[in-house]
Amino acid sequence: MTAPFILYGNVNSQPATRIALFFRLAGIPFQYRHLDLRAGQQKSPEYQVINRFGRVPTLVHGDHSISESSVILTYLAEQTGQFGGRDEAEKLRLAEWLSWLADVLLPVQRARAVRKFNGDANALPWLDGAAASGLTLFDQHLAGHSYIQSERLTIADIFALPWIDLLSESGIEEKDYPNVKAWADRIRAQPGYKPQYELMPQADAEC
């Protein structure tokens, strides 16, 4: 029997959502381990054995414990044969996209964190401007493309979608970015798709 996939996450975490979304879209069961971030469970010595950064998500699979959602998605694509690159050139393009998206759209996540979790409101003017710049570039790229890389859903799409799904919590209107909206709707129509707050329970579970 192959080892189970075990995801450590929190329902509010967009990086953790990416991994749960991968499993749902791929139709692969996983074991879910809830971490209470407010209580600081992610900083416990036991947890830091599997995640040196003290954050979620972590994927445990056999002898591996992997952090960073982009790395986890790349690993899962390799392990399952789903949503990854089909040859070396595609794998490299996907790695580029993951890195670019993480740079350019991170202000979207940060703007949500400030608004939802009462962060430093002084940061908002800069974050809102940076989020708008990133989304404008992303929207321009998606004109004429069904998915981020070619016409096929990949881990790059799964990486980006959680930020877009909760744009309203970032203080941004999805309709202001029509190509992004059309792309997101295409993914939302996929079998297995669920929005963030339905993807992960607030307790350990078999999913």
Ligand X SMILES: N[C@@H](CCC(=O)N[C@@H](CS)C(=O)NCC(=O)O)C(=O)O
- The residues that touch ligand X, with contacts defined as CB under 6 A, are 13-15, 37, 42, 54-57, 68-69
Are 127 and 121 within 8 A, CB to CB?
Answer: no
Are 20 and 9 within 8 A, CB to CB?
Answer: yes
**Closest chain position to ligand X (CB):** 55
Closer to ligand X at the Cβ: 98 or 172? 98
Closer to ligand X at the Cβ: 16 or 142? 16
Least Å distance, CB 182 to ligand X, is 25
- Answer whether the bond into residue 57 is a cis peptide, omega within 30°: yes
Least Å distance, CB 189 to ligand X, is 25
Least Å distance, CB 149 to ligand X, is 19
Least Å distance, CB 104 to ligand X, is 14
Closer to ligand X at the Cβ: 99 or 140? 99
Closer to ligand X at the Cβ: 65 or 146? 65
Q: What is the 3-state secondary structure of 156-175?
A: HHHHHHHHHHCHHHHCCCHH
Closer to ligand X at the Cβ: 101 or 180? 101
**Residues, the chain, total?**
207
Least Å distance, CB 154 to ligand X, is 17
Report d(CA 198, CA 115) in Å as an integer: 21
Report d(CA 138, CA 104) in Å as an integer: 9
Report d(CA 159, CA 17) in Å as an integer: 9
Are 59 and 76 within 8 A, CB to CB?
Answer: yes
SS3 of residue 136 by DSSP: helix
